[in-house]
Amino acid sequence: MCDQAKAVCKAEGIDALQESAACSRRMTMHYSFDYAQQVHLPSNPLQPGPIFFLVPRKAGLFGVCCEGLPRQVNFLIDKAHLISKGSNVVVSFLHHFFERYGLGETDVHLHCDNCSVQNKNKFVLWYIAWRVAVGLHKSITLNFLVAGHTKFAPDWCFGLVKQTFRRHVVNSVSCLAAVVNGSASCNEAAVVGTEDGHNNIPVMDWQGHFAGIGRDFHGIKQYQHFRMRSSRTSLDALLRVLGGDAVFTGVDMATTTKEYPKHKCNSRTQLNRYPEHCMVVTLPLTVPPSLHNSLERIQSHFGSVKQSGDRVVTSGRSDHKYPRGLDLVDPAEGPSVERWTSLMSK
């Protein structure tokens, strides 16, 4: 798949990620996505002693790699905008990637790991079925890596980011974005939200959006390959390839077909209950970020970590150089009492 994707990009003259209309190029492209281990801010190669005993601010990393170029978009998730690592976040970032960085391909191959909470669940299946049903793609193949063989392109790009990250002083999400962009030509940063609370890439409630439309698909874990097609006639039977101790299974699904007989439900599955409802491109509501820390934790974090950062890491730089989103604003100089109370009650 990787070699074919590279050959397609070379033939089409594509050398960078670009915003393209859906199905504007009749071609097949290969993408991979995964989470990386979170990093802590502020960070210094010469770690100051006081910060060793503290837990700095966390920042998440989620990457989607176009293996035909190769180029990877790294979503930088500040703690103030970190909702969860569930399917809502994964689907929202995938949707944003296809809308802003997709190459306009008609057919897609996706690769990811077997994490049930993030990737291998009915909500991700419903989303890719929805994309095919509304015409954003002609077909999508979702492939899960075999356990024990989960190292792929995103890990390569994450490794380059971590190497550069360990060599630089990083005080904020904007600094982290500069590190990602400068780590290698294959990496590009996409800041989900800034420290002051401004959100650039919202997380949407896809679970609630598909709750009344999607049909449950049982036994997801026993399959490794899922293919979504919009054609009513191009359905393949269940594919089982046995090799050694590993069992590779796949299933082909229709997004706009009628109910299948019970004796064929193992090889063909309809994921949507009401196809006519799926044919409208509507987006779900935005999920607002919530504050998970107590007021005491916020004040302690702001006072201790920030002071250590100003004294050793940032060498006395101004406060705005230290990451201080809504949950790190000093109550004495931040929002009003009413605003602070409303934030803490969410």
217-244, pLDDT tens digit by residue?
778 888 888 888 876 433 332 222 222 2
pLDDT value, residue 298: 56
Tokens coding 55: 């837990």
How crowded is residue 345: how many other Cβ atoms within 10 Å of its Cβ? 7
The phi and psi torsions of 38 (rounded to 5 degrees) equal -65, 155
Structural contact between residues 81 and 105, judged by C-beta atoms closer than 8 angstroms: no
Structural contact between residues 137 and 95, judged by C-beta atoms closer than 8 angstroms: no
- C-alpha closest to that of 154 among 91, 98, 92, 71: 71
How far apart (Å, rounded) are the C-alpha atoms in residues 122 and 161? 31
pLDDT value, residue 306: 56
How does pLDDT run across 98-151, given as a tens digit for each residue? 999 999 999 999 999 999 888 888 899 889 988 888 889 999 999 999 877 788
Paired strand residues for 31: 66, 110
End-to-end CA distance of the chain: 45
> Residue 59: CA atoms inside 13 Å, Cβ hemisphere, count?
29
How far apart (Å, rounded) are the C-alpha atoms in residues 324 and 342? 18
pLDDT value, residue 38: 92
Confidence band, pLDDT 50/70/90 cuts, at residue 49: low
How crowded is residue 334: how many other Cβ atoms within 10 Å of its Cβ? 15
Structural contact between residues 121 and 220, judged by C-beta atoms closer than 8 angstroms: yes
The region of weakest confidence among 9-13, 49-53, 285-289, 335-339 is: 335-339
Structural contact between residues 296 and 157, judged by C-beta atoms closer than 8 angstroms: no
Average pLDDT along the chain: 75
Pairing mode, strands 25-41 and 57-66: antiparallel
Paired strand residues for 207: none
pLDDT value, residue 292: 47
Q: In sequence order, which ranges of the chain are alpha helices (DSSP H)?
A: 2-12, 49-52, 87-100, 122-133, 153-165, 173-183, 206-210, 275-278, 295-300, 306-308, 337-345
How crowded is residue 339: how many other Cβ atoms within 10 Å of its Cβ? 12
How far apart (Å, rounded) are the C-alpha atoms in residues 123 and 142? 13
Residue that wins the pLDDT comparison between 340 and 12: 12
Model-level pTM? Answer: 0.78
Paired strand residues for 199: 193
Per-residue pLDDT at 245 exceeds 60: no
Report the percent of the chain where pLDDT is more than 90: 39
Mean pLDDT of 159-167: 95
